[in-house]
Structure 1
Amino acid sequence: MTRHLSHEERREQILQAAEALFIEKGYEAARINDIAERAGLSKGAIYFRYESKRDLFIDCIRHHFEEVQEIALGDGTARTQGLEDLLGVAERFARFVEKSPSSSKFMLVMTEAAVRDEEIRTLLVEHYHRPIVAAIGVALRGDAMPLFSAMKLDEIDPELATLAQLVKSVIDGLSGSYAIGQPIDLNAVIRIGYQAISVLSAVSPRIAASG
């Protein structure tokens, strides 16, 4: 007898199928029929939970961010207490991306959709870009805060925020390299990253002091 899936288990089943199809075909080309077939469900079962493909895609984005936060938070108490701690979080995420390249590929799909869709763009900025840049900025400043807290970018010195965005751009670039299948020596990246801490630690206090 087939076990009845809980609401969350059914959601996971649908989202895994949807994310795989969005990666393979892109948001525009993926069809609800294809997603239902991949999930082993009827099209009606998909529409019972989602009004449209767009609603399903947005839930895929939320699910992706839930996964990213779970990895970053570790035991749920992770805090940015400085650059080295933050790099440790980045290392955990990089190891995850290395083992699960679909994560970085879906990030590209989200970014492409965000160019055309304001709601998706806002979701990406508010739940991914700004929290990460704020966490990096606070770490550069040498303060402690829970990851993915309500810290806002305008609470950080503008020049420090610019440096934080530069650091995040490097992270995004590495993720993009994985997405297009370019080999990266992750151990070398991590080693260089830790070496860069001493440089950033020397530069960031001067930036903060000059603000």
Structure 2
Amino acid sequence: MLAQAATLLAAYMIGSFPTAYLVGKANGVDLRTVGSGNLGATNVFRTLGWKWGLLVYVVDGLKGALPVLLLPAAIGMASGWPWGVGCGLLAILGHVRPVFLMGKGGGKGVATASGVFIALTPIPALCAIGGFVIVVATTRYVSLGSLVGAVVLPVALLLQQRAITPLVIVSAVVGAFVFWTHRENIGRLRRGEERRVERTSSPSAGGRA
């Protein structure tokens, strides 16, 4: 049992790696004080440009995928249910409430959750990412794309598994969590105040993510 607990702790620590914070500091910016103040890929994109934003998205995705794929195997467990899922959830929690930043100022969990579900169930995860891309490309609202992806994932997973499995339930819970982390964005969308992503990649210190 000690090995399992250590594995879950390791997943949380990996998820806590403050990618956006370190990228911002490397560029002389504390991302907690500019734009939305959120340590996620969208705020990096708007503040530092698309290259840094893409880097943060990829690394944050790996923070979710690698614990699922590697940590359960290290203790002789499968990377699916329940240990892979457990590691994935702890990685998401670490991203949103990073221990290295005293449990404050993390991201909203979308990129890390994407990595988790790509590792757990690739096809439904890719469907969710596809929904995200389509919505962002047509509306330029990253938050709306994230919300649509959070809905598509459990639906696609349910259609694939044709039953309400534990993984379907977990995906729905994670989707609800994404809605919760985007509650301010939802309010701005309703009021017509949400900022769209610019079509150019020029850095800007303004905006909300």
For the pair shown, the structure with the greater C-alpha radius of gyration is 1
TM-score where L is the length of structure 2: 0.33
Structure with a larger share of its residues in helix: 1
Greater RCO, 1 or 2 (C-alpha within 8 Å, sep 6+): 2
TM-score where L is the length of structure 1: 0.33
